[in-house]
Amino acid sequence: MSYTEIFFYIFAVLSILFALLTVTRRNAVHAAICLLLTFFFIACNYVLLEAEFLAAVQVLVYAGGVVGLMLYVIMLVRKDEADEVRQSLGQRVIAVFIAILFVLEIAFISLLAYYGNYSGFLSSKMAQIGGNTESIGAVLYTYFLLPFEVVSVLLLAALVGAVVLAKNRIER
């Protein structure tokens, strides 16, 4: 086993462990912290796959921003109110079904990648440009120029929306 593989298994086991803890913890704050660790270990695996940009996004946006937002919302909701809400909505069966579906799908795609010649195609192309982040930059700011600029409109609209919804409720 190479070093990469050893680290992969360590990170994979840890991320699954914390993902399990996220869904089983009763305390919402603990669950959010576990989610943060899950995101972090997934980011570690991205690094091992040489997807540094994805790892950076994972840590910055998901571990940093989204979990922060979740923690804030948990603190916003009053605990006594939250405790009255029914904890289980009977979605276990559906959840298990969807989980099985996803496992099957990943297995199917892995098989395709194993028997087909899909693997290794992108990495060699990327290496010519210099790496993962560089190749994203090379494509995003040239061929995907227009979507990139429209994203800024999207973010602007989201910003305005956030201010409108929150301010409307503060002013009264």
Partner 1 sequence: MYQAISPYVPVLILILLAVLFGVVTLLIAWLVRPNAPYSEKLSPYECGVEPLQPGKLRMSIRFFVIVLLFLLFDVEAVFMYPWAVMYKPLGWWGFIEMALFVIILFVGYIYAWLKGALEWE
Partner 2 sequence: MSNFLAGIQFPDITAIIPEVIALIIGCLILLIDPFIPKQKKRLNGYIALFGFVVLFFVTLSYLGKSIVTFFDMFSVDNFSTSMKLFFFVANFVVVLISLRYLEMEDSNLGEYYALLMFATVGMMVMVSSKDLIMFYIGLETMAIPLYVLAGFIRMNERSAESALKYLLMGVFVSGIFLYGIALTYGATGSTKLVDIVRFTYINGVNPILFVAIILIACGLGLEIAMVPFHFWAPDVYEGAPTSVTAFISVVPKVAAIAALLRVYFEGFTFFAPYWQTVLWLLSALTMIIGNVTAVVQDNVKRMLAYSSVAHAGYMLMGILSFNELGVSSLVYYFFAYSFMNIGAFALVIYLRRKNIVGDRLEDFRGLAQKDPIAALVMVVFLLSLAGVPPTVGFVGKFLIFSAALKAGFYWLLVIAVVTSVISLYYYFKIARSMYLEEPVADEPLLQPLSVKIAIFLLAILTVVFGVYPTPIMNLADLSAKVFFGY
Give me the residues that bind partner 1 (CB under 8 A), please.
Answer: 2-4, 7, 47-48, 50, 53, 56-57, 60-61, 64-66, 68-69, 72, 75-79, 130, 133-134, 136-138, 140-142, 145, 148-149, 151-153, 155-156, 158-160, 162-163, 166-167, 169-170
Contacts of 148 (CB under 8 A, 6+ apart): 140, 141
Position 117 contacts partner 2 (CB under 8 A): no
Identify what 168 binds: partner 1, partner 2, none; CB under 5 to 8 Å per kind.
partner 2
Cα separation, 123 vs 133, whole angstroms: 12
Which is closer to partner 2, CB of 5 or CB of 130? Answer: 130
Q: Is 87 helix (H, G, I), strand (E, B) or coil?
A: coil
* Radius of gyration in angstroms for the set of CA atoms belonging to the chain, rounded to a whole number: 21
Which is closer to partner 2, CB of 64 or CB of 161? Answer: 161
* Helix locations, 25-131, DSSP H: 28-48, 52-57, 67-76, 79-84, 92-115, 121-129
Size of the site for partner 2 (CB under 8 A): 24
Residue type, 102: F
Site residues for partner 2 per CB under 8 A:
109, 138, 142-147, 150-151, 153-154, 156-158, 160-161, 163-165, 168-169, 171-172
